Amino acid sequence: MKSIESVLAFIVEIEKLKAVQRKTRPVGLQRYENSAEHSWHVCLSALMLKDYADQPVDIDRVIRMLLIHDLGEIDAGDTIIYASETPELKEEEETGLKRLLAILPGDTDHYLALWREFELGESADAKFAKAIDRVPPLLHNLHGDGHSWRDHQVPKEKVFDLNSRIGDGSQALWAVLKKQLDGAVEDGLLK
């Protein structure tokens, strides 16, 4: 009973992810996206794109990774990926994740390990999860007049360079998105 109460406390605490504002707006909405709805979006996106992973992936592990991948932002906040992922920021996120996991009963080290695996981005599951994590922000910009690229003055070279990591998880997916980005350059959305 006591342990269920701890899980319920965790469930209330992680609700704060719904207040973490990201840097892009969902297609068709005027407000910015939050990290909780983004987490749902990438989980379902991963499920629907699983057959295009270059290496065999355990999609259920990928989904678990994506369910927890942004929890560290509750304490650390969301940072635009083009502002570079510093070791300091990652450490802050890890500390935040540990604080949350400490609310749960029992051993939660496997969740910390899963988060670190995602961050490291070396396993097949992590490469695919990280590739999927990049997809919605690109779609938001592609279908939203490049608003985030423009707001943060991100040059096209940086957009292509950073998102080419999608190809580490799925070359086919990156090929399609690269073509769409080429179109955005042609249309003047991305400069």
Please give the residue ranges that form the binding site for its own copies (CB under 8 A).
1, 4-5, 7-8, 10-12, 14-19, 26-29, 33-34, 36-37, 39-41, 43-45, 47-49, 52, 60, 63-64, 67-68, 104, 135-136, 139, 143, 172-173, 175-177
Query: 126 vs 177, which CB is nearer to its own copies?
Result: 177
Q: Give buried/exposed letters for 88-118 (b at 16+ CB in 10 A, else e).
A: ebeebbbebbeebbebbeeebeebeebbebb
**Mind giving me the DSSP string for 59-93?**
HHHHHHHHHHTTTTHHHH----GGG---HHHHHHH
Residue 13 CB, nearest approach to its own copies (Å): 9
Q: How far is CA 176 from CA 85, 124, 169, in A?
A: 26, 20, 13
Residue 145 CB, nearest approach to its own copies (Å): 14
Query: Which residues of the chain form beta strands (DSSP E)?
Result: none
Query: 8 vs 102, which CB is nearer to its own copies?
Result: 8
Instruction: Compute the distance between CA of residue 168 and CA of residue 124 in angstroms, rounded to an integer.
Output: 9
Residue 175 CB, nearest approach to its own copies (Å): 7
Query: 101 vs 154, which CB is nearer to its own copies?
Result: 101
Residue 83 CB, nearest approach to its own copies (Å): 24
Query: 72 vs 136, which CB is nearer to its own copies?
Result: 136
